[in-house]
Amino acid sequence: MARRYDSSTTTFSPEGRLHQVEYAIEAINNAGTCVGLKCSDGIILASERKVTSKLLAPVKVSEKTYKIDSHCVLSVAGLSSDASILINQARLRAQRYMFQYQEPIPIEQIVETICNYKQSYTQYGGLRPFGCSFLFAGYDPHFGMQLYQTDPSGNYSGWQATVIGANNSSGKSFLKNEYQKDDGPVPDISEGLKLAVKVLNKTMDSTGNGAEKYELFYMKFNEEEEGDVEHHVLTEEETKKVLEEVEKEGASAGDS
């Protein structure tokens, strides 16, 4: 019975569900994992790189983290081809706002624009919903550093720390325990990077992965200019260092 309503994105099933939209959300639960963390001095986005073949040319800087504007980035879980359409829209929105008001767009406005666009694909006929979720990270003077998650239905929500993609529920429950453990302080970036790697280690299928499987990004306050942020995607060497530290901690934790 439910099958009759499967093929159309815009028709409710008798149970009041939109199956295609739910399938799109489900598809992302199998995609590469992304972790987002707010830190005391910035914000972290960490994602899993799916290495499909040794022969594939490695990406130059990043394959999942995209700069939207000088104060905003996002990372992708799901179909990268669908995502690139939305990323174009987000960049366009950011620059149009800049053109009109000569100041950077508030983060929530970009998120809202993208989500409205995603929502339209769940309502108008003959179209397939976007098969991707995003983590948006950004800074604006109204609300400081912010982290948002979006999904194919067009819903979005703000978080302190969250996970999207494969095994996101186990990643989230790990974060629930480890982020601000015992009501402790919000981690700083160097602590946050280690935490993000630990989350990815939980969600990834295999253990003992090389640095090429991790894409670590942070955005932090620029010390020279107030209200300005700098972006950094960790190089392979830097990623290796973080991985080693995590490994060391894991080993010594076993001793005690």
Partner 1 sequence: MDSIIGLRYNGGVLLASDTNNARSILVYQHDIDKISQLTPHAMLGLSGPNCDLVNFSEFVEKNLTMYRLKNGDTLSTSGIANYCRSELATALRKGPFQVNTLLAGWDASSKKTVNGTTVDPTSPGVGSLYYIDYMGTMSPVNYGCQGYCSNFVLSVLDREWREGLTKEEALEIISHCEQVLKKRFLVDQGVFGVKKVDKEGVGVVRDTNGVLVA
Residues near partner 1, by CB under 8 A = 40, 99-103, 106, 108-109, 141-145, 221, 226-227
Minimum CB separation of residue 108 from partner 1 in Å reads 7
CB of 226 to partner 1, least distance (A): 6
CB nearer to partner 1: give 147 or 211. Answer: 147
Residue 34 near residue 165 (C-beta atoms within 8 A): yes
Nearer to partner 1, 58 or 144 (CB): 144
* Residue 153 CB neighbour total at 10 angstroms: 19
Q: Which is nearer to partner 1, 69 or 82 (CB)?
A: 69
Minimum CB–partner distance for residue 143 and partner 1 (Å):
6
Smallest distance from the beta carbon of 227 to partner 1, in angstroms?
5
Query: DSSP label at 35?
Result: E
Give the separation between CA 46 and CA 195, rounded to whole angstroms. 10
Q: Smallest gap, in angstroms, from Cβ of residue 145 to partner 1?
A: 5
Element (H, E) at 200: helix 189-203
Determine the distance from the C-alpha atom of residue 101 to the mean position of all C-alpha atoms in its chain, rounded to a whole number.
28
Q: Which is nearer to partner 1, 106 or 165 (CB)?
A: 106
Tell me the CA end-to-end span of the chain in Å, nearest whole number.
57
Nearer to partner 1, 40 or 88 (CB): 40
Q: 3-class SS at 112? A: helix
Give 239: exposed, middle or buried? Use CB within 10 Å, 0-12, 13-18, 19+.
buried
